[in-house]
Amino acid sequence: MEIVVKQQGSKEDGFSLIEVLAAITILSIVALVLSSYFTSSLSYSKKNQNKTIMVNLARNALFYMEKQSFSVLSGYFEDTDSLKCKKKPESPVQDCSEPASLLSADEDVVRGVLSPTVNGIQYSVSIQYQRNLHEDMLHSTDETKKNSAKYLLPVKVTVQGPGDNGSRANETVVEGYITDETIR
């Protein structure tokens, strides 16, 4: 009697090449999806940060204007609808001499309010008189609105950031009132 021993081939338990390639492909797809998610959340966060900066600059300009002489500003806004610095073609620094002379303030202070630079980014602030709103208040049938209209100047502060000038995505608007000194 002869015993025949069958030789079994080496049985190594492991992954085949196809299984390894499939796993790497699946992991790559998951990594790409996650990286695009984090990239979009970073750009969304950056956009919100810029919007917050522009809102704070608009509020700062509004607070600054609220502290200025009501009679000077109401006289100025009878002839013109907006107050802002002008761009100089040869220089990145804007010309704020006209608003500074109107407000009887240092030009550098006015430039800091109407043409501020934050984190190396220059913003442009424009203060616009809302003539139609003021006229509606003056001719209102409501006596409270009519009486308060002579003490209030409605303004809209617009801050424009860098980028596409026609785009509203890089712009923030804050509305408020400049009040007469007698009721401050």
Q: Which residue from 102, 93, 91, 92 is spatially nearest to 64, judged by alpha carbons?
A: 102
What was the pLDDT predicted at 60? 94
**What number is the average pLDDT over the span 96-125?**
83
What was the pLDDT predicted at 152? 92
Query: Would residue 76 count as lying in a domain?
Result: yes
Q: In terms of residue numbers, what domain contains 73?
A: 30-183
**What number is the average pLDDT over the span 169-182?**
89
Query: Would residue 1 count as lying in a domain?
Result: no
Q: Give the lowest-confidence range in 69-83, 87-101, 144-158.
A: 87-101
Between 27 and 2, residue with greater pLDDT: 27
Tokens of 146: 């009519």
DSSP labels for 114-139? HS-EETTEE-EEEEEE-HHHHHHHHT
- What is the pTM (predicted TM-score) of this model? 0.75
Between 105 and 70, residue with greater pLDDT: 70
Residue with tokens 């015993």: 3
Query: Would residue 39 count as lying in a domain?
Result: yes
Report the domain count for the chain: 1
Query: Would residue 15 count as lying in a domain?
Result: no
What was the pLDDT predicted at 92? 67
Share of the chain above pLDDT 90, in %: 36
